[in-house]
Structure 1
Amino acid sequence: MKLIGVTCISTIQQIAMDRIFDDKDGIIRYSSDAPPTHYTVKMQSFSLLLKNAVEKYESGEFEAGGYKWKLVLYPSGNKSKNVKEHISLCLVIADASALCRGWEVYAVVRLFLLDQKKDKYLIVQDALGRERRFHGLKLEWGCDQYIPLTVFNDASNGYLVEDSCVFGAEVFVCKETITGKGECLSMIKDAPTCKHVWKVEGFSKLNEECYESKVFIAGDHKWKIQLYPKGRRLGTGTHCSLYLALADFTTLVPGSKIYAEFTLRILDQVQAKHIGGKAKYWFSASQQQYGWPRFMSLTYLNLPSAGCLVKDACLVEAEVTVLGISSAL
């Protein structure tokens, strides 16, 4: 396959066009003598794409209107959209991750296929000549049924001659905006639950305000248990306080949130009658911990019959299930 880059021009030339027919999906097909001004893809031995089961071909990147683009061709139809017996062709904005958050680009897009017998191009674009909107959730625009394979493969139509063909694209950026706000929520199906047990020894000798467990992983994020042996806030002096906290909150992308269901327990080491608290909470960089300042009274904790302290050691257990993640667009 041979790729031919074409220089971008700043104005749209007036061209003589022979209108062919309107498409019910809001696109129009017509023919033109003028070649695509921005990019051309010449394909040789096209039949080998089908023979070798190549489902998708992406061109190299090209620049138009200050943005990078690429053509994407599906030789036997875009299977993800259940397209058969057609060539699918679309334009994709490339390297979208490098663009500013909240970006939007409005562009007039034309897709080309050369009729080599008539030296004219079959062009597809919006039926009303409207610009197409590209953004973080819509990176492409095109035609799933660009041309039937029966028409394309018939050499008398001029599109495939000596097993070679030529496709192309024009992109004219009309407007750019940055919304600056937006988010994407991804809920997790059949999310796994992670269990972590922390043995706290020498409980009666703990003098620091807060102690933390080793870091453990749940839902691809790092967590830790926080224990305040003499209480915190409303529980100071009367209760022990227990919290679950994100251990990697400083690495979160700004605006990200993690929705987790969790249970914290102080295990009864004698009768297995565990005391626990269960909650669901949106964790984030600004709200990285959640729990109970009055988790268990110190009076109950120190009762021998409660089984919470054995040989001055307690077992603290966390069960964490990450149910969803919300991130900024």
Structure 2
Amino acid sequence: MGEVQGVARSISNAPPAHYTLKIQLFSLLESTSGQKHESAEFEAGGKWYVSSFSINHKNVKDHHSLSLYLDMSNTSSLKLGWEVYAVFRFFLLDQNKDNYLVVQDALLKEKRFHGLKLEWGIDQFLSLKAFNDASNGYLVEETCVFGAEIENFSKSDTECFESKVFVTGDQKWKIQLYPKGRRHGNGSHLSLYLVIADSTTLSPASKIYAEFTLRILDQVQARHIVGKGNYLFNASNQETGWARFATLSYFNEPGNGLLVTDVCLVEAEVTIHGIARAL
């Protein structure tokens, strides 16, 4: 199929998690070279659609290429100045082997979408020569199947995610996760904290000594990221944790299993060793 610099190709037996598009009579699309063709809208942490072009690259040996792009749609509901960071992959079914060619940008996996940049993609997804070769299984009897998978996690207007409130030692707690970091982890790390959820239960003289564990689960290989600590909570100190719990590059890397189809799993264990209250 030929290699293109900056493009990573792999084979997957699993179908795309978010969207599959079956096209029949593909030659009708191919005959309109240079025109944009759009898929139906689909949901994956936002509204998206896939668009395609057939482009003539004069400086490439197999110069007619199939190009695929991911576009954001329905952005009117987002706040002014919004930004979305997403990692995405395109899929193409090999109908002979019943597996998928997976293609993504190898140089800059996380793309920044915003009001002036609603579209990212791969200009040279696959040469039309390779695509039309029946032995490759991509186009069979004028039919092909494309797909898209998106890991859309962080939005600049979502500074902090909070867990549901849970109770340990008659005290209400919650977990706070900052997807783009906080304090000295801002912009480089994911930040994670254990927080007293209801501060009204603490009088000025109340103190709670707790041992705790916070972890983000590796959903693929069970190699979880774990932080452990002890802390004396009181009315003035209601949270503790790590501003640099995990680097954003490691967290967003698909193979590390921390973010799978736009989902991360966070756990907390809290043990109360002592409670002091004013008489």
Q: How high is the TM-score relative to the length of structure 2?
A: 0.51
Structure 2 distance, partners of 1:62, 1:116, is 24
Q: Deviations over 1:110-135 (max 9, x none)?
A: 11111111111111123268322111
Structure 2 distance, partners of 1:70, 1:78, is 23
Change (3 A) 1:36 1:132: same
Change (3 A) 1:129 1:30: farther
Residue 97 of structure 1: aligned partner = 76
Displacement, 1:84?
5.2
Residue 63 of structure 1: aligned partner = 43
Structure 2 distance, partners of 1:70, 1:38, is 11
Corresponding position: 1:24 with 2:2: no
- Alpha-carbon RMSD: 2.7
Structure 2 distance, partners of 1:128, 1:104, is 20
* Structure 2 counterparts to residues 241-252 of structure 1, below 5 A: none
Is contact 2:4–2:124 with CA below 8 Å preserved after alignment? no
Change (3 A) 1:21 1:84: closer
Structure 2 distance, partners of 1:21, 1:108, is 24
Change (3 A) 1:152 1:95: same
Is contact 2:91–2:100 with CA below 8 Å preserved after alignment? yes
Residue 123 of structure 1: aligned partner = 102
Partner SS for 1:151: helix
Corresponding position: 1:34 with 2:49: no
* Structure 2 counterparts to residues 201-220 of structure 1, below 5 A: none
Residue 77 of structure 1: aligned partner = 55
Aligned length: 155
Partner SS for 1:96: coil
Displacement, 1:30?
0.8
Displacement, 1:54?
7.5
Structure 1 distance, partners of 2:29, 2:103, is 23
- What is the one-letter code of the residue matched to 2:106? A
Structure 2 distance, partners of 1:23, 1:171, is 22
Is contact 1:78–1:88 with CA below 8 Å preserved after alignment? no
Partner SS for 2:120: strand
Structure 2 distance, partners of 1:159, 1:94, is 28
Structure 1 distance, partners of 2:65, 2:105, is 19
Structure 2 distance, partners of 1:173, 1:128, is 18
- What is the one-letter code of the residue matched to 1:154? D
Displacement, 1:77?
2.0
User: Who wins on radius of gyration, i.e. which is larger?
Assistant: 1
* Structure 2 counterparts to residues 151-230 of structure 1, below 5 A: 151-178=130-157
Q: How high is the TM-score relative to the length of structure 1?
A: 0.43
Structure 1 distance, partners of 2:15, 2:31, is 29
* Structure 2 counterparts to residues 309-324 of structure 1, below 5 A: none
Is contact 2:34–2:55 with CA below 8 Å preserved after alignment? no
Residue 23 of structure 2: aligned partner = 43
Displacement, 1:53?
5.6
Structure 2 distance, partners of 1:21, 1:148, is 8
Structure 2 distance, partners of 1:88, 1:123, is 14
Structure 2 distance, partners of 1:42, 1:54, is 21
Is contact 1:62–1:68 with CA below 8 Å preserved after alignment? yes
Change (3 A) 1:164 1:136: same
Stretches (4+) displaced over 6 A: none
Is contact 2:68–2:121 with CA below 8 Å preserved after alignment? yes
Displacement, 1:97?
3.3
> Which runs of 5 or more residues in structure 1 are unaligned?
1-19, 180-329
Change (3 A) 1:63 1:78: farther
2:87 to 108, 113, 135: 108
Structure 2 distance, partners of 1:105, 1:52, is 32
Is contact 1:21–1:28 with CA below 8 Å preserved after alignment? no
